Amino acid sequence: RMPSSLLKLPRVLLSYKHRALFILIFMLVFFAYLTLYWRIAEDSYSSDLYDLPGEFSCAQSVPFSLSNAGEPHPSRGKVFFVETSEQTKPGYLFSCSVESAARTHPSTSVVVLMKGLAKGNASLPKHWAFSLLRCFPNVEIWPLDLPELFSGTPLKKWYLWPLRRLEPYFLPILSDACRIVLMWKFGGIYLDTDFIVLRNLQNLTNSLGIQSEDELNGAFLSFKPKHKFMELCMKDFVKNYNGWIWGHQGPDLLTRVFKKWCPIQTIQSMSCKGVRALAPEAVYPIPWQDWKKLFEATTASELQKLLKNTYAVHIWNQMSHRTRLEIPSHALLAQLYSQFCPATYAKMKQD
């Protein structure tokens, strides 16, 4: 007779086989979920109000004075926008962000870097937003070469890790990484593609904005190249990296670094060792908790009062992009479109 231990062996092996099969199925389902999540996330993250295709004619909406503003001034930093998803069909808010920046910085290069554009292909996809934005002589639209951008920085090794895309917040974290590297390498101004720019931002050197009590936000950054503060941000990005907590590599990182930079316990509107924390009304006049106010009617006097000390308005597209905006209307957002990106606004009314 066979020993009882040998008789039990097939059952033990079968049990381990079932466990291994369960783990394998779980991992396959998990990776499939992450792939689906990021496809949906990219669509949501890059979606916009009424994203319709079409052609655009420059003549009616871009003023002659801007078209003859001259070459960008070489001594000034550029204004950067970055799109880290694969989308190549910008919506109205994206177009308004770039247009408003181009109008308020007529002698400055406004550079749009898009991951979805084919490297080495000189032609842009046929889409009304590209046609519109190319009407502005100071707007440049280029492919986003991530390996090249991160080369020579502490973030190169981070980016090249093969499983990085499986992290739940990879897309916004990639955006966080791009902006601090851009500021460190080239300097200038960085803006998220859900800003409407009201005034020239170039006197806000070495600054970032307070979005709410005791928290900074990197949707707007303005720094000279190779600034020590941005260098510390890159080092903190790698040293304290956590891809599983929303905002840990973005607002939380900037807040951590600024508190060490000063050093302080609580952030307020201040200048510390050459770096300014701007009051919320400068670039975040509408708190993210109150984003619905953007879709509420406002009078001209209320609008002027609200924007008295404001350089740009953050639209919080991550929360607001599914909300219907009536065009034309007295909603605050509609009035911002009409005043600061009239070409985009005309296209919205046409559509």
Does 118 reside within a domain?
yes
Higher pLDDT, 307 or 253: 253
pLDDT digits (tens, 9 = 90+) for 279-305: 999 999 999 999 999 999 999 899 998
Contact between 197 and 311 under an 8 Å Cβ cutoff? The reply is yes
Look at 29-33, 230-234, 344-348 and tell me which has the smallest mean pLDDT.
29-33
What was the pLDDT predicted at 23?
A: 67
Which structure tokens are listed for 52? 């319709």
Does 21 reside within a domain?
no
Give me the mean pLDDT over the 244-261 stretch.
96
Domain count, the chain: 1
Does 332 reside within a domain?
no
Residues contacting 71, CB < 8 A, separation 6+: 107
Cα dihedral 143/148/149/151 (nearest 10): 170
Residue 213: band (very low, low, confident or very high) from pLDDT cuts 50, 70, 90 = confident
Does 78 reside within a domain?
yes
pLDDT digits (tens, 9 = 90+) for 30-89: 545 544 444 444 444 444 443 444 556 675 566 544 544 444 444 569 999 999 999 999
Does 66 reside within a domain?
yes
pTM of the model: 0.83
Domain residues for the domain of 177 are 58-279
Q: Which residue has the tokens 């009051």?
A: 279
Residue 122: band (very low, low, confident or very high) from pLDDT cuts 50, 70, 90 = low
pLDDT digits (tens, 9 = 90+) for 156-167: 999 999 888 889
Does 342 reside within a domain?
no
